[in-house]
Structure 1
């Protein structure tokens, strides 16, 4: 037997004692807990490399047709000879020495191994990613693939404290670190060549018999798409993870915006879109709400997620789906009667025939065990609805009053627990009495958690909201009463100012008369110019020239004003022009 102290299993926070014997290897945490063991016949290969805590022994298993990785970290350099001899004698496995590339280059080649994805620089690995640590992947662009890593529900749960006998579950290794890598993106340019078996079909016209001949054909495809498809298959993401219980196609999502197909599994559900795919565990669902939209035509299903859904740099803590109220569906669950009775007795039915929103809500409740939250019976809007129309900044939506919270959807989806609300202030928007058809609600949270303002609420909803606040014992203040008295006083003050303005206008009446005379002169000038333009146009047609000259002679016989004499050359110039 070979024994080593201060060894860490699968990046665990706690060290333990590792022992190698003829029957296999074992690891026991020093602080107490379950022992992890591995039979010698299940050891397929082993690698020795430099790691963070000294040197690492990586063991690849071969049990059950699947390959898993077991990491033992914390060895010293002089331990190599003892471990190499033990693996060769007891397990008939050669301990390979693997050197990593430390250049720090961010470009290289990817290699899909049996249990991990390796990123190689100059034919040496820079880092490896176990498939068990990958929770999701999607195409972030034409040549870019995003890889998301699993996260444990509890940061203290590293898989070495009695859970599954070691870090065999997804995300247990990352729980050992204080800082966790949640996403990595690979830029993969160019095309890749794929060999496919192409069949030729030749049909005999007389006998109608068909013959098939296969040949290898090389086809070029996008390298990023090929990387994405390979990783989906190796990491067991999607349909490979198990049979779907139910599938709903082309479901409209308001947050994140788009249409997604929903595949429901026993432990998780999947959203499949044209660009993004998401795999979400039922454990991540913290809230499930079924909200009737105030338009009497749609239902909204809102799912609260923790950790939130990530799409690049954007996080979505809530999923908001929209369904038509009168759209019905007939669905048979892809599950045997034995499993229904054994696992989901009184939770799921073999067949559903109801509105699609009701069917999805019931299946989610049966698979996840989450309670369906509906609007409170203590609230009914002016139009007998469960929510009121309002907006957060420039985003319009609906505010629903639930038994224990407020929920604003669709964007930004905002959840406010009634227990965390310190006070609510109702205030008016605008400065005139005629503009008081809407008002605002400002919700102040406890512990300095900030404020949330819901604006443009119809004035008809004031009384129903006040009744709901009283029913839930919420502190609220109505500032609109003070605003109305102030507005009336301001209106009276404006009336006094208007009367004083009229008196001032009467004092300076002569000045206004002078202005009117100036306007009349300007008006006459414009009319005379228009007449001259009309006369010149009329003259160009070849008629009325004699009458015009007679009028001019008549003007000379009378008393001519200096203004008329001054205007006469202007008329001649225009005529010559």
Structure 2
């Protein structure tokens, strides 16, 4: 009887039995939780947040290694990718190994990391992560879900950019943006975040080329070998990483594509691909994928040259290119360049998803078309310059500069915008006072002035220089209409100068100072310099002068006599006769 009941007891024990571990961190999370291994699978639950579970059928392999907070259990899953559980003790290895083998049929292997500190090694592109090995030991591994972009930074250099969360708390442990396994959210778990790595990859690599259809169908091709191709090793690494990390891949088809669009910021020409939830900029060197959620504002600005149109996109977080950040994308189009494009959308999608904001066919100037499509896809307003401002020359922008960078300052309904570089956006709500001042040269003769916009709460200031003096009246009128506090220092300077000119004492003293500053220029009067001898008729004529034959000023007989004397006197240098006598240098006393 006991023997008959014993298997039932064992089965019941196995059904409810599990192993629990406290103070375990999932995917570099900031807050620890409880990890539980059961027969059905693995689970992790933080003190306050969403529970993460992993079914045993989804597990492929498991690794055990030393990590930052103790020992780490890394599980390679089919759909979840790389799952990292950190914070175990060394004594937990035997227990976890038995659980994985008995319940999941997965072997737990121990891995030792390279500790030499070398920065050269061998790369390996795995199924779910990229590893860098030194002497056949992994120095570090990077899951593909953490890689946001990669670019060819040079002939043999590849830059790898990592995903950054918009908020430091979006670590996948609070159920935000897809829960614990959100793509690219591991980097948010640390206080200091790695943003970019660069790899130098020299040499070439042999790669088998793709066989054409003719070769595949050719029965005479006995061996069927593919042709080997020599390619740059950095290019092969770059293309492989793009394919593995699915960089640039988006869900759905491309709605529209615009080729070779000129960008002022970042500088270059990029192809624009528009998708349902993001757009992509494809250049020769750099490639960017920008979600529409990162595009905060859109601006359509007519350039004052009456030939081009600017489309500006404000981004948060900004684009990164190495150490450079671009909070604005500035595109430039010709006003006369029109485009005929058909959107890759069905009539049902145009009506149901976009409520008529988009149409199937566009035949307009290219800048206007791209702006309307962005507006339809993002549901965000396209801002334009204020209607109540017109410059002296009838334009929407005022030419000026920030330090050494020239551009145009646009007055919008609720903000200032300077483009193209550095693109600067200033909301009227943040403006404390606007100061207009005159700089450079004589005050009365100055043709330009500066505008200094001081921000509230001591947030700093922005100075726009070299503005044409004719733009002063339109700008003052606009500032007054928007109830912006202004301070005109040019009127104060003009009053001081007028008072100085009206005071005879000040005027005479200034004249004396100016006279004293002239130096030797005051000596250029009409007095005769006794040491100076003007040219007379006895001077030797120039070489090409028509009177050179009669340079002595006398008759032909006199000239012949002088020539005879010159022949008899061998010690006289002929060059001295032709050369004009040197004038005595003028000296000022």
Match of 1:547 among 551, 558, 566: 558
**Partner of residue 116, structure 1:** 129
Contact persistence 1:196–1:217 (CA under 8 A): yes
**Partner of residue 57, structure 2:** 41
Alignment of 1:518-533 (within 5 A): 518-519=531-532, 521-524=533-536, 528-530=539-541
Query: Offset at 1:466?
Result: 0.9
**Partner of residue 16, structure 1:** 33
**Partner of residue 456, structure 1:** 466
Change over 3 Å in CA distance of 1:341–1:79 after alignment to 2: farther
Alignment of 1:221-236 (within 5 A): 221-236=231-246
Contact persistence 1:390–1:398 (CA under 8 A): yes
Match of 2:143 among 116, 130, 139: 130
Change over 3 Å in CA distance of 1:386–1:27 after alignment to 2: same
Query: Offset at 1:417?
Result: 1.5
SS of residue matched to 1:384: coil
SS of residue matched to 1:330: strand
Contact persistence 1:293–1:387 (CA under 8 A): yes
Query: Offset at 1:331?
Result: 2.0
Q: Distance in 2 between matches of 1:219 and 1:148?
A: 29
Query: Offset at 1:418?
Result: 1.2
Query: Offset at 1:311?
Result: 1.6
Contact persistence 1:151–1:170 (CA under 8 A): no
1:29 aligns with 2:39: no
Q: Distance in 2 between matches of 1:163 and 1:502?
A: 73
Alignment of 1:17-166 (within 5 A): 17-30=34-47, 32-63=48-79, 68-163=81-176, 166=179
Further displaced range: 349-358 or 214-223: 349-358
**Partner of residue 266, structure 1:** 276
Q: How many corresponding residue pairs?
A: 545
RMSD between aligned residues? 3.4
Further displaced range: 147-156 or 492-501: 492-501
Alignment of 1:50-449 (within 5 A): 50-63=66-79, 68-163=81-176, 166-199=179-212, 213=221, 214-239=224-249, 242-432=252-442, 435-449=445-459
Contact persistence 1:115–1:130 (CA under 8 A): yes
Q: Distance in 2 between matches of 1:194 and 1:47?
A: 31
Change over 3 Å in CA distance of 1:431–1:59 after alignment to 2: same
Q: Distance in 2 between matches of 1:220 and 1:197?
A: 13
Change over 3 Å in CA distance of 1:451–1:163 after alignment to 2: closer
Q: Distance in 2 between matches of 1:365 and 1:502?
A: 62
Change over 3 Å in CA distance of 1:533–1:230 after alignment to 2: closer
Query: Offset at 1:503?
Result: 12
For 1:52-75, what per-residue CA distance to the aligned partner results, in whole angstroms no more than 9, with x for missing partners? 111111111114xxx611111111
TM-score relative to the length of structure 2: 0.84
Q: Distance in 2 between matches of 1:116 and 1:470?
A: 59
Contact persistence 2:449–2:467 (CA under 8 A): yes
SS of residue matched to 2:43: strand
Contact persistence 1:284–1:306 (CA under 8 A): yes
Q: Distance in 2 between matches of 1:534 and 1:161?
A: 98
Query: Offset at 1:469?
Result: 0.9
Query: Offset at 1:369?
Result: 3.1
Q: Distance in 1 between matches of 2:109 and 2:176?
A: 30
Q: Distance in 2 between matches of 1:405 and 1:485?
A: 32
Contact persistence 2:112–2:137 (CA under 8 A): yes
**Partner of residue 586, structure 2:** none
For 1:77-110, what per-residue CA distance to the aligned partner results, in whole angstroms no more than 9, with x for missing partners? 1111111111111111111111111111110011
Contact persistence 2:273–2:281 (CA under 8 A): yes
Further displaced range: 210-219 or 362-371: 210-219
Contact persistence 1:233–1:240 (CA under 8 A): no
Further displaced range: 102-111 or 169-178: 169-178
Contact persistence 2:542–2:548 (CA under 8 A): no
Contact persistence 1:199–1:212 (CA under 8 A): no
Further displaced range: 287-296 or 344-353: 344-353
Q: Distance in 2 between matches of 1:422 and 1:17?
A: 52
Query: Offset at 1:347?
Result: 3.5
Q: Distance in 2 between matches of 1:236 and 1:354?
A: 34
Contact persistence 2:540–2:548 (CA under 8 A): no
TM-score relative to the length of structure 1: 0.86
**Partner of residue 558, structure 1:** none
SS of residue matched to 1:389: strand
For 1:200-239, what per-residue CA distance to the aligned partner results, in whole angstroms no more than 9, with x for missing partners? 969xxxxxx9877443221110000000000111111124
Change over 3 Å in CA distance of 1:371–1:76 after alignment to 2: same
Query: Offset at 1:358?
Result: 2.0
For 1:8-35, what per-residue CA distance to the aligned partner results, in whole angstroms no more than 9, with x for missing partners? 11111111111111111111112x2221
Contact persistence 1:200–1:212 (CA under 8 A): no
Change over 3 Å in CA distance of 1:548–1:320 after alignment to 2: same
Query: Offset at 1:145?
Result: 0.4
Q: Distance in 2 between matches of 1:321 and 1:502?
A: 52
Further displaced range: 423-432 or 7-16: 423-432
Contact persistence 1:392–1:455 (CA under 8 A): yes
Query: Offset at 1:483?
Result: 2.1
